[in-house]
Chains A and B, each alone.
Chain A
Amino acid sequence: MAIYQLPEWAALAPALILALTGLVLFLVDSISPRSTNRTLLAGTAAVGALASLAVAVWFTAAGVGTPTMDGGEGVIEIFDGQFVVDQLALYFTIIVAIVTALIVVASYDYLRDHTYQAEYYSLVVLAATGMATVAAANSLVTIFIALELTSLPSYALVAILKDNRGSVEAGLKYFLIGALSSAIFVYGISLVYGATGVLQLDSIATVIADGGADGFGGLLGLGILMLLGGIAFKTASVPFHFWAPEAYEGAPAPISAFLSSASKAAGFVIAFRVFNVAFPLEEIGGVIGFDWTVAFVVLAIVTMTLGNFAAATQENVKRMLAYSSIGHAGYALIGLAGLSADGGELVMGAALMHLLVYGFMNTGAFLFVALAEHWGVGRTFEDYNGLSTQAPVACGAMAVFLFSLAGIPPFGGFFSKYFLFTGALEAATANPAMLAVAAALVVNSALSLYYYSRLVKALWIEEPPATRERLGQPTGLYAAIVVAAVMTIVILPGFGPVAEAATGAAEALIN
């Protein structure tokens, strides 16, 4: 028995800690506006992110959000169900907090000579707050608000290198397309509201099940498609992926890592929650006249194929990683494509696992690019030639990330892709189209090995150019990269608990 029962809103603690950290950073900035005390700023942000991570892990371990019948503490609903803290929310909060901590540590060196340091860190932490809130949001309105809280700092962060034309242009592009997609998303919300009269996700499902939306099938269907469009933008899925390579390339590399890992995960949590909770497959087909998993099957195949083919033709490392992250969005979409009326926990759980592993390996890969930018060695594959002679540890870590992204053992990416594959095959018994998805996954993974190994070859096998200055060893960047690499490997022996948490979260969501 607890001596002191925490109030219910304390379940949002991981997100609240992040928000508080953002405010503390603002406070520091207003007390001493010109401060460039990087240690204080980065340290505060890192401590906040790690505290949030610790609380989220503690909650998960303590069984918060496990359905009561499994012997857990029960799903916690806050503010009349506007927010729920369940295993899915905690799972994604963990991903966001991990990535945020890595980014913040890595930015310590990256931002050495940049202005607006306090603003940078507080924006990062605020965007992370938005992502953590998205994970727990259970109503279309809270989702939208949390999404905007994620997006607005992101626009600013992409453009934070004010003197760099690429950065400003990328920020503008990102903002314009982001605003458009927000408009589409919110319009979708209004259509769904028009058809059902409610905004809370579980209420929408109830209304649909009770036949309350029967006359508005077309309206509801259009609304769902528009929501899908908004999500496709957030997750950088085809056909709303065009902004991603531009934004990732122009943004400071740690921010590219942040957007392509954490922000993308936030997009997926919306998709997973909205489509599972609000539009359950058993009833929705009869009302709107189509099965939305078909849309995800197509989206998954097209996204992964297009992302990988585009990545294979890039000359610029950062763009290659950007397109490859589009490809990985396609892999994660398999989780939704594999759902069917009688389940899909496995494939959904596999998608969750992939997003967690991806959080380490993709962040790490972009942080290596950040390191290369810090060194000023250039951006193309050729510029990376022979870096391993000067920085073997970082290049070893980069090889780990790349081989893991390609899905080669003994790294984490191998298992998450394998589970996606078996999950897809499992789902194929209910939906034969999943065989095509599974095949596309294998073909694309094989293709991806080509361009990932090309970078490994540049780093390790090609000779370095004769004239290259000595490379520094920035502590923060190195620390973040090494931690990410170690986690990409260590996650493999620890895959048991990860698989348990992920399938648990998926089961809780689907049932």
Chain B
Amino acid sequence: MMIEALIAVALIGALVTFVAPNRVAGKLAFAISLVPAALSLWMFTAFDGSGNALLDGDLAFESHLEWIQFGDYSIEWFVGLDGISLPLVVMTTILCSLAILSSWTPIDRRESQFYGLVLFIEANLIGVFSALDFFVWFIFWEAVLIPMYLLIGVWGGPDRKYAAIKFFVYTNVASLLMFGSFIALVFGLGDAATSFALPEVADAMVNGGGVQSSVFGIDPGTFTALVFIALFLGFAVKVPVVPFHTWLPDAHVQAPTPASVLLAGVLLKMGTYALLRFNFTMFPEQVATYAVPIAAVAVVSVIYGAMLALAQTDLKRIVAYSSVSSMGYVILGLIAYTQFGVGGATFQMVSHGLISGLMFMSVGVIYNVTHTRSVEEMSGLADRMPIAVGILVAGAFGYMGLPLMSGFHGEFTIFFGAFQADFAYAPLFTALAMFGIVIVAGYLLFALQRTVFGPYHLETDYDVGRAPLHDIAPMFVLLALIIALGVAPELIFDMITDAVDPILNGGDL
């Protein structure tokens, strides 16, 4: 019942915060959010990975209840965690607490509603990473959309309405596509699946031989391929990969800092996590068939995303586009389909969540103080706000993959795994993707050099000084986590590989 407790605390907390007076909402929400964070950390220490496989075995903290029976299919309340989802849940709860802390300064109106929505998102994110029945999962998946739409639309920047609607339409259309194709798949499986439980569907697909007879007059092979592609497209928008990435910079730039933190830190991982759980677990044959085009998409996302970031002059846009690039690495790791590839991709999800969260927070803090994000207007900030700038620089180094920071381990294992991959030209794709690191270093150093170093100069009427402690503290926590994972990646990498191995071996531990 631990997972239920996590979700329930966040949900009830959301309601309480929503009706609380504005004055106390921020502190109240932070206090409430510490409960799931502490609980998830306890779950992390108590985690038992021995039965740890989606395809074969029981998951930790599992609970399984009858819910709805409709016709031949049942829908169940089915949640549980394995070595892939647990680190993501822990990351979510921590990041949510820190995001709440970092909103105290920038959010100055309708606070109770804002924090209520953040806690509501937190509950649903935990649900996304722990649900094992497709319906339960989909409900959480979609329920993230509405509060994020409101966070961007109500508290965002000048173009917030456009950005919010674009975000909503893009991701909702993608969800519909994914929903329809997965339902079609379960029906196509016929008697092999009598519920929408992900382990059952995955088992029927991997060990049961998949779709056997023609569905709606389409032969099984084509049908499976169509479902695979539709699911991939549905999740690709969320990730996002090029060319479905255009909603992301708009949403990020308009969103208030804490929403950006959650958007980059956790929401993007929903896409890659779902890719791993659905496409890469359930369709091993299609993964092999479509490896080359998917790898190509991944490499294009890496290079193109980085080049776009290079062309930006808005600090937040730079960080936003860099996410496109980083998520490209994750896709590359997944498509490699080796222990290091998939494991590294999962590690990178956590690592990128922490690092991009840190970057958005630093940009947010700089904006709170200077009221500008334009690279061209700032210069020599290190003079005025050394601590915040120091953290920004550290985060940027993490992004570039400096050893002893988590980004290094993630990217290194991905590249290592991708070199070993089976598909054609895998080393070539990997080498191309590695070139992305150079561009990343390029745009980050370029941006830092212009904003942070050199003589102080800023065209603003505001008094530029140090940021308050509650702005700096969450960044220190994130930095500590990034370094901890960089120094000791086995903290989570072991449990990740324990969960990844059965996926690659069709369910055998």
**Cα separation A349 to B70 with both chains bound (whole Å):** 9
Chain A residue nearest to B146 (CB atoms) is A403
Interface assignment of B172: CB less than 8 Å from any CB of chain A: yes
Q: Contacts A392-B113, A393-B19, A457-B153; is A408 near B146 (CB within 8 Å)? A: yes
How does the 8 Å CB contact mask read for A438-475 relative to B, with 1 for contact and 0 for none? 00001000100100010001001100000000000000
B154-A460 in contact (CB<8A): yes
Q: Count A-side interface residues using an 8 Å CB cutoff.
A: 34
Closest CB of chain B to A416's CB: distance in Å? 11
B68-A496 in contact (CB<8A): yes
Closest CB of chain B to A318's CB: distance in Å? 24
How does the 8 Å CB contact mask read for B383-407 relative to A, with 1 for contact and 0 for none? 0000000000000000000000000
Q: Find chain A residues with CB under 8 A from B140 CB.
A: 409-410
Q: Find chain A residues with CB under 8 A from B176 CB.
A: 442, 446
CB within 8 Å of B: which of A272-289? none
Closest CB of chain B to A493's CB: distance in Å? 8
B139-A409 in contact (CB<8A): yes
How does the 8 Å CB contact mask read for A490-510 relative to B, with 1 for contact and 0 for none? 001101100110010000000
A457-B161 in contact (CB<8A): yes
Partner of A461, one of B112, B139, B142, B164: B164
Partner of A495, one of B67, B141, B146, B187: B67
CB within 8 Å of B: which of A72-91? none
**Cα separation A423 to B73 with both chains bound (whole Å):** 12
A461-B138 in contact (CB<8A): no
CB within 8 Å of A: which of B101-120? 110, 112-113
**Cα separation A453 to B150 with both chains bound (whole Å):** 11
Chain B residue nearest to A396 (CB atoms) is B18
Closest CB of chain A to B394's CB: distance in Å? 36
Q: Find chain A residues with CB under 8 A from B165 CB.
A: 453, 457
Closest CB of chain A to B431's CB: distance in Å? 43
**Cα separation A460 to B117 with both chains bound (whole Å):** 13
B154-A461 in contact (CB<8A): yes
CB within 8 Å of A: which of B127-141? 138-141
**Cα separation A419 to B73 with both chains bound (whole Å):** 11
B161-A496 in contact (CB<8A): no
Q: Find chain A residues with CB under 8 A from B66 CB.
A: 496
B172-A409 in contact (CB<8A): no
**Cα separation A399 to B138 with both chains bound (whole Å):** 19
Interface assignment of B160: CB less than 8 Å from any CB of chain A: yes
B70-A410 in contact (CB<8A): no
Chain A residue nearest to B176 (CB atoms) is A446
How does the 8 Å CB contact mask read for A418-435 relative to B, with 1 for contact and 0 for none? 010011011000000000
Chain B residue nearest to A435 (CB atoms) is B216
B187-A500 in contact (CB<8A): no
How does the 8 Å CB contact mask read for A394-406 relative to B, with 1 for contact and 0 for none? 0010010001000
Q: Find chain A residues with CB under 8 A from B154 CB.
A: 388, 460-461
Closest CB of chain B to A305's CB: distance in Å? 18
CB within 8 Å of A: which of B346-370? none
Interface assignment of B168: CB less than 8 Å from any CB of chain A: yes
Q: Contacts A460-B154, A461-B160; is A453 near B168 (CB within 8 Å)? A: yes
Kindly name the residue among A419, A425, A460, A461 whose own CB sees the greatest number of chain B CB atoms within 10 A. Answer: A461
Closest CB of chain A to B214's CB: distance in Å? 14
Interface assignment of A389: CB less than 8 Å from any CB of chain B: yes
How does the 8 Å CB contact mask read for B66-87 relative to A, with 1 for contact and 0 for none? 1111110100000000000000
B150-A460 in contact (CB<8A): yes
Q: Contacts A422-B71, A449-B172, A499-B68; is A399 near B146 (CB within 8 Å)? A: yes
Closest CB of chain B to A499's CB: distance in Å? 5
Q: Contacts A460-B154, A461-B150, A496-B69; is A389 near B142 (CB within 8 Å)? A: no
Q: Find chain B residues with CB under 8 A from A389 CB.
A: 110
Kindly name the residue among A422, A446, A449, A496 whose own CB sees the greatest number of chain B CB atoms within 10 A. Answer: A496
Interface assignment of B434: CB less than 8 Å from any CB of chain A: no
- The dominant DSSP class at the A interface is helix
Interface assignment of A265: CB less than 8 Å from any CB of chain B: no
Q: Find chain B residues with CB under 8 A from A442 CB.
A: 176, 180
**Cα separation A119 to B168 with both chains bound (whole Å):** 47
Q: Count B-side interface residues using an 8 Å CB cutoff.
A: 34
A410-B69 in contact (CB<8A): no
Interface assignment of A384: CB less than 8 Å from any CB of chain B: no
Interface assignment of A103: CB less than 8 Å from any CB of chain B: no
A414-B139 in contact (CB<8A): yes
**Cα separation A409 to B142 with both chains bound (whole Å):** 6
How does the 8 Å CB contact mask read for B303-328 relative to A, with 1 for contact and 0 for none? 00000000000000000000000000
Chain A residue nearest to B184 (CB atoms) is A425
- The dominant DSSP class at the B interface is helix
B71-A346 in contact (CB<8A): yes
Chain A residue nearest to B67 (CB atoms) is A496
A461-B161 in contact (CB<8A): yes
Closest CB of chain A to B261's CB: distance in Å? 21
A460-B70 in contact (CB<8A): no
**Cα separation A414 to B175 with both chains bound (whole Å):** 13
Closest CB of chain A to B225's CB: distance in Å? 21
B143-A409 in contact (CB<8A): yes
Q: Contacts A393-B19, A461-B154; is A410 near B67 (CB within 8 Å)? A: no
Q: Find chain A residues with CB under 8 A from B160 CB.
A: 461
B142-A410 in contact (CB<8A): yes
**Cα separation A492 to B77 with both chains bound (whole Å):** 12
**Cα separation A389 to B110 with both chains bound (whole Å):** 7
CB within 8 Å of A: which of B46-74? 66-71, 73
Q: Find chain A residues with CB under 8 A from B139 CB.
A: 409-410, 414, 492
**Cα separation A349 to B141 with both chains bound (whole Å):** 27
CB within 8 Å of A: which of B147-200? 150, 153-154, 160-161, 164-165, 168, 172, 176, 180, 183, 187
Partner of B70, one of A409, A457, A499: A499
CB within 8 Å of A: which of B396-420? none
Q: Contacts A419-B70, A461-B161; is A392 near B172 (CB within 8 Å)? A: no
Q: Find chain B residues with CB under 8 A from A396 CB.
A: 18
Chain A residue nearest to B216 (CB atoms) is A435
Closest CB of chain B to A413's CB: distance in Å? 12
A408-B142 in contact (CB<8A): yes
A425-B187 in contact (CB<8A): yes
Q: Find chain B residues with CB under 8 A from A403 CB.
A: 146
Closest CB of chain A to B158's CB: distance in Å? 12
**Cα separation A327 to B483 with both chains bound (whole Å):** 56
Chain A residue nearest to B164 (CB atoms) is A461
**Cα separation A349 to B68 with both chains bound (whole Å):** 13
**Cα separation A71 to B124 with both chains bound (whole Å):** 41
A460-B142 in contact (CB<8A): no
Q: Find chain B residues with CB under 8 A from A495 CB.
A: 67-68
CB within 8 Å of B: which of A260-319? none
**Cα separation A495 to B112 with both chains bound (whole Å):** 31
Q: Find chain B residues with CB under 8 A from A457 CB.
A: 153, 161, 165
Closest CB of chain B to A218's CB: distance in Å? 38
Closest CB of chain A to B25's CB: distance in Å? 12
Chain A residue nearest to B143 (CB atoms) is A410
Kindly name the residue among A409, A446, A503 whose own CB sees the greatest number of chain B CB atoms within 10 A. Answer: A409
A460-B153 in contact (CB<8A): yes
Closest CB of chain A to B8's CB: distance in Å? 12
A461-B153 in contact (CB<8A): yes
CB within 8 Å of B: which of A361-387? none
Closest CB of chain A to B213's CB: distance in Å? 14
Known: A392-B110, A409-B140. 13 other contacts (CB 8 A): A349-B70, A408-B142, A410-B124, A410-B142, A422-B71, A422-B73, A446-B176, A457-B153, A460-B150, A460-B154, A461-B161, A499-B68, A503-B70
* 8 residue pairs bridging A and B, Cβ less than 8 Å apart: A349-B70, A393-B18, A422-B183, A425-B187, A442-B180, A453-B165, A457-B161, A496-B66
Q: Which residues of A pack against B, CB within 8 Å?
A: 346, 349-350, 388-389, 392-393, 396, 399, 403, 408-410, 414-415, 419, 422-423, 425-426, 442, 446, 449, 453, 457, 460-461, 492-493, 495-496, 499-500, 503
Q: Which 7 A-B pairs have the closest CB atoms?
A: A461-B153, A409-B139, A409-B142, A410-B139, A410-B143, A496-B68, A346-B71
